[in-house]
Amino acid sequence: MILIVVEHANGKVSKSTWEMVTAARELGREAPITALVLGSAIASIAAEIATAVDQVLVADLPALAQYDPELWSAAVAQIATEGEASLLLIGGSRSGREYSPRVAIKLDAPLLEDVISLKANGDTLTAQHYTYLARVTETIEATGPIVVATIKPGIFNPATPRAESPAEQFDVDLNLPAPRVQVTGKTAERSSRVSLAEAEIVVSGGRGVGSAEGFTQYVEALADQLGAAVGATRAIVDAGWRPYSEQVGQTGKTVQPKLYIAIGISGAVQHLSGMNKSKIIVAINRDAEAPIFKIADYGIVGDVPQLVPAILAELKK
Ligand SMILES: Cc1cc2nc3c(=O)[nH]c(=O)nc-3n(C[C@H](O)[C@H](O)[C@H](O)COP(=O)(O)OP(=O)(O)OC[C@H]3O[C@@H](n4cnc5c(N)ncnc54)[C@H](O)[C@@H]3O)c2cc1C
């Protein structure tokens, strides 16, 4: 079987999980696609993912209420072994990148990391990922009775539910180690905005917004008006105008919203690779020769301080 470890948050299956389902389906293997849901009080998550896979394994335990790499790796390795999985897909989130090497070691399996494409050729899996600070795309192959792969978020299209009736769910027993690390406090970043990875609209700003204040005045204002997430270029993250969590591009996040609005962004290849799969791209730049216009569906040549307030005023009407 192909085993997908379901990523979920706030009672919902995360977009990264639907992307892993696509990665699994595109392999075209006969093996059933199985989702493994780990956590506590996760019935709704199991029911949600059951609409897209062949079977669902559920480990609904109080001990799994809190993510812990030791427990996650023990649980996933155990289920992969018992189910004789041939491929194990783990999200390329911070936690996925943390526990996947532990799983690979427990299974004595090869690990394909931060995968952006995945193909099966008989028993061999061929994947691509970025390397050397994303300057190089590397092609890698792995063979073995079981291969572990982490899937870079935002690359594969999210899968849609299938028409058939939902997959059967099975409760699994786990032999978990005693937790050795406790989470004693959590401070969440306060933001009323949708997350960059999940957003249908992203408004991003670059150096052309002029300053950190300009970003708030133009990019955040437009994002709030549209109910969008905000993104940034590396240039302004490096300048300290915005946090790294908002960086879009090869060394930041990959997004593919329905609408991407690029304000004062030149369109360097490293930025484009993080957003060029967006359905509609709108660019605002005063330089008509800026590379961003080569991939934009709609381009407005002009000055940010003039154009964005005019757009905001129109939207408010
Ligand atoms: C290894 C590596 C990895 C990288 N990873 C990333 C990454 O993940 N993400 C990323 O974004 N970059 C990344 N970069 C950096 C990238 O090469 C560019 O330097 C960066 O994207 C440029 O950001 P920018 O568009 O904000 O700035 P600039 O290139 O300076 O562009 C600013 C644009 O604003 C326009 N402008 C200026 N004033 C106005 C105005 N008043 N009104 C309208 N338009 C105006 C200008 O015409 C210009 O086109 C990486 C680079 C390297 C080497």
* Digit-coded pLDDT (tens) for 268-288: 999 998 999 899 999 999 999
Distance 205 CA to ligand 1 centre (A): 9
Report which of 51, 141, 157, 146 is spatially closest to residue 89, judged by C-alpha positions.
Answer: 146
Of the candidates 173, 171, 175, which has an alpha carbon nearest to the alpha carbon of residue 55?
Answer: 171
Least confident residue range of 10-19, 21-30, 181-190, 221-230: 181-190
Domain 201-316 falls in which CATH fold?
Answer: Rossmann fold (3.40.50)
Report pLDDT for 149: 98
Ligand 1 mutation target, pool 131, 207, 263, 282, most atoms within 8 A of CB: 207
Ligand 1 centroid, distance to 227 Cα (angstroms): 24
* pLDDT recorded at residue 189: 67
Is 3.90.1150.10 the CATH classification of the domain at 2-171?
Answer: no
Task: Tell me the H-state helices in the chain.
Answer: 15-26, 43-49, 69-82, 94-107, 212-214, 221-226, 234-238, 269-272, 292-295, 304-316
Q: Whose CA is nearest to atom 45 of ligand 1?
A: 208
Q: How confident is the model at residue 190 (pLDDT cuts 50, 70, 90)?
A: low
Are residues 233 and 206 in contact, defined by beta-carbon separation less than 8 angstroms?
yes
Q: Whose CA is nearest to atom 20 of ligand 1?
A: 235
Confidence of residue 65 (pLDDT cuts 50, 70, 90): very high
CA–centroid distance, 269 to ligand 1, in Å, is: 9
Cα 86 from chain centroid (whole Å): 23
Q: Whose CA is nearest to atom 31 of ligand 1?
A: 266
Please compute the mean of the pLDDT values over residues 4-17 and round it to a whole number.
Answer: 95
Amino acid code (one letter) for 14: S
Section 149-158 average pLDDT: 94
CATH 3.40.50.1220 placement within the chain: 201-316
To the nearest 10°, the Cα dihedral for 21, 76, 67, 195?
-10
Cβ atoms of residues 7 and 93 within 8 Å: yes
What integer pLDDT is reported at residue 192 of this predicted model?
67
pLDDT reading at 198 higher than 90: no
- Residue entry with tokens 């409760």: 171
Ligand 1: does its nearest atom lie under 6 Å from the Cβ of 285? yes
Q: Identify the pLDDT of residue 122.
A: 84
| Mean pLDDT, range 98-110, rounded to an integer | 98
Q: Residues 199-217: what's their mean pLDDT?
A: 97
Predicted pLDDT at 183: 86
Q: What percentage of the chain reaches a pLDDT higher than 70?
A: 98
DSSP 142-190: E-SS-EEEEE-TTSSPPP---SSPPPEEEE----PPPP-----------
Res 194: pLDDT: 82
Residue 5 scores a pLDDT above 70? yes
Whether 312 has a pLDDT exceeding 80, the answer reads: yes
Return the residue whose CA atom lies nearest to atom 8 of ligand 1. 249
The CATH 3.40.50.620 portion of the chain extends over 2-171
136 has a pLDDT exceeding 90: no
| Residue 277, pLDDT score | 87
Residue 191's pLDDT band, with cuts at 50, 70 and 90, is low
Q: Which residue in the block uniquely carries the two structure tokens 């189910």? A: 83
Sign of torsion, CA 76 113 203 242? positive
| Ligand 1 atom nearest 233 alpha carbon | 11
